[in-house]
Amino acid sequence: MHPAAGVGRIYLVETEMKLIAIFSALAAAAAAQTPDVQTIMEHVGRNQAEAVARRQEFTFHQRQLFRLSRGDGKLAREEHREYDMTPGSHGVQKELARFDGKYEYKGKYVTYDRPGYTYREMDIDGEMIDDLSNDMTNDRHSRDGIGVDLFPLTTEQQRKYNFKLLAAEQYRGRAVYRIGFEPKPHQDFDEAAWRGEAIVDAAEFQPVSVHSKLAIKIPRAVKILLGTDIKGLGFSVTYQKFEDGVWFPVSYGGKFDVRAVFFYKRTISVNMTNTEFHRTNVNSNVIYLANEK
């Protein structure tokens, strides 16, 4: 072997070893900089409490769209609601700004102009769509209307769930943590019903988006005896930052199938967007226009 070849091999081996050492050091540094999931969620819980408190300084406009479609895909009922929202110290107040609805009857669409409208004694669609608006976008315990139990990020809700750090990655140009969650074993379904993933901003420990799905299945006995089933039940929410410490949910929605008491079958979609944020106090009135989704 020529002496130069031996020197070249030694050089390559040394170079590879240096690169391995550098990459190992970088990986170790990255691991050291990534906190454990418990620490991440503790920060999120504290920041959620602060963000919720700060939301009472804002008014905003909320648009709701509900659609109920039959098994053949044809629209059975639809409502479009718009509210002017005023968060307070113990929830949110909403004033109806616009409403239009329609339902299918004998092959034609009939319009109506108020929430809660039913056109016959047993109007399941009418009752269902009104319950959806009240239950899913009108939580009196939150300051944005979204049910606090759908996305377990507050300190109180976190106690009912297990969390797992899935990845530290980039999302829309920012460092984030992707975290999975599911109910702790033996939790009461009424207390902890959801599993899913949350994307958390790594710099501010605020949620960027959360996706949740129902964590249990409808028991087979219920399906057989009552003809009731729900498939694909889940919801997604996206947050947007407006200023330091102030993140608001700007879009929220879900789509799922319901079959009840044998004869009733619907595909239900829920969509909500929050826009036109006004920060109001005695010293200022600042308007934020959220990106339309």
pLDDT greater at residue 34 or residue 175: 175
Percent of the chain with pLDDT over 90: 42
What pLDDT, in 10s, does the model give residues 208-248?
999 998 887 655 544 444 445 567 678 899 999 888 878 88
For residues 95 and 5, the model is more confident at 95
* pLDDT over 70, % of the chain: 72
Task: Read off the pLDDT of residues 263-284 as tens digits, 9 standing for 90 and up.
Answer: 789 999 999 999 998 887 645 5
pLDDT band at 29 (very low <50, low <70, confident <90, very high): very low
Q: What is the pLDDT of residues 46-82, one digit of tens each?
A: 988 887 777 778 889 999 999 999 988 999 999 999 9
Is 32 buried (19+), middle (13-18) or exposed (0-12) by CB count in 10 A? exposed
Neighbours of 279 (CB within 10 A): 17
Contact between 160 and 149 (Cβ < 8 Å)? no
The pLDDT score that the predictor gives to residue 267 is: 93
**Which residues are within 8 A (CB) of 104 and not within 5 positions of it... i.e. 6 or more apart?**
74, 75, 76, 77, 110
Q: What is the pLDDT of residue 23?
A: 46
- Residues 6 or more apart whose CB falls under 8 angstroms from that of 33 comprise none
Q: What is the mean pLDDT of residues 35-44?
A: 94
Nearest Cα to Cα of residue 114 among 81, 140, 138: 81
